[in-house]
Amino acid sequence: MPSPDDAAHPHNAASAVDGSPKEPNHLIAACAFSETERAAVYRAIETRRDVRDQFRSDPLPEDLIRRLLEAAHHAPSVGFMQPWNFILVRQAATRDRVWQAFNQANEEAALMFDAGKRAKYQRLKLEGIRKAPLSICITCDTQRAGPVVLGRTHNPATDVYSTVCAVQNLWLAARAEGVGVGWVSIFHEDAIKTILNIPEHVKIVAWLCVGYVDELYDMPELAVKGWRDRLPLDELIFEEGWQADDKES
């Protein structure tokens, strides 16, 4: 006769009342990480940077790229729809076409700021498309799980939210691997879709420039360059409901 401990084991396939085998519940112990492991997680989060110009030219090993993609693929997704795809772009000619699309949009973006802000904007380097040896275009397939998706019934944008979680997973894994990542968002989506033959129903969520780096800024680059500072956390925490600040009242 099995012991009580055996019967309680999550992977024990004991018999049900009717004699049929019971399915394992797959529950495992939820324990905190060790102090060293916790410190590593928080270090990755706090030292992750949006890299624009510190990329080395040497290619990333295929097994490392696979680890980054596995990390991305383990992101949470609403209804477990896993809407992401990862388009790896290594060819210089393709990356140059994407850079041209970025450059056009970047010139348009500069004109949207007032004269003082525009000059500062134009001094910023906002991409590493041609310098990083690898680009990854991460997309969201809005039809991946069919017309009705658990958890997406009242907020269709949750497929994009899920894909952003995959981006963040990849980014943090890259930081742990000594790999820099830069997210480029300044382009007309249709231009990139044409270059990469992306179907109409698929959304581009992120263009990531990826490569080894030897140095990173010790704070976000936009703060270093005087564009914008990190907001105080205490100003962003509300209790039990929205609290208007003085600027909103």
Domain boundaries, the chain: 47-228
CA distance 118 to 33: 46
Q: For the chain, what is the mean pLDDT?
A: 92
The answer to whether the beta carbons of residues 206 and 129 sit under 8 Å apart is no
The answer to whether the beta carbons of residues 210 and 136 sit under 8 Å apart is yes
Per residue in 84-96, pLDDT tens?
999 999 999 999 9
The answer to whether the beta carbons of residues 200 and 184 sit under 8 Å apart is no
The pair of structure tokens assigned to 131 is 């310098």
The whole-number pLDDT of residue 22 equals 79
Domain 47-228 of CATH type 1.10.10.10: no
The answer to whether the beta carbons of residues 138 and 163 sit under 8 Å apart is yes
Phi/psi-derived region of residue 234, left when phi > 0, alpha when psi is between -120 and 50, beta in every other case:
alpha
The pair of structure tokens assigned to 10 is 């999550």
Concatenating the DSSP letter of every residue in 30-76 gives: --PPPHHHHHHHHHHHHH--B-SS-B-SSPPPHHHHHHHHHHHHTS-
What does the pLDDT average to over 41-56?
A: 97
- pLDDT over 80 (residue 5): no
CA distance 33 to 168: 20
Nearest CA-CA partner of 101 in 195, 182, 183: 195
Per residue in 112-162, pLDDT tens?
999 999 999 999 999 999 999 999 999 999 999 999 999 999 999 999 999
**Global pTM exceeds 0.85:** yes
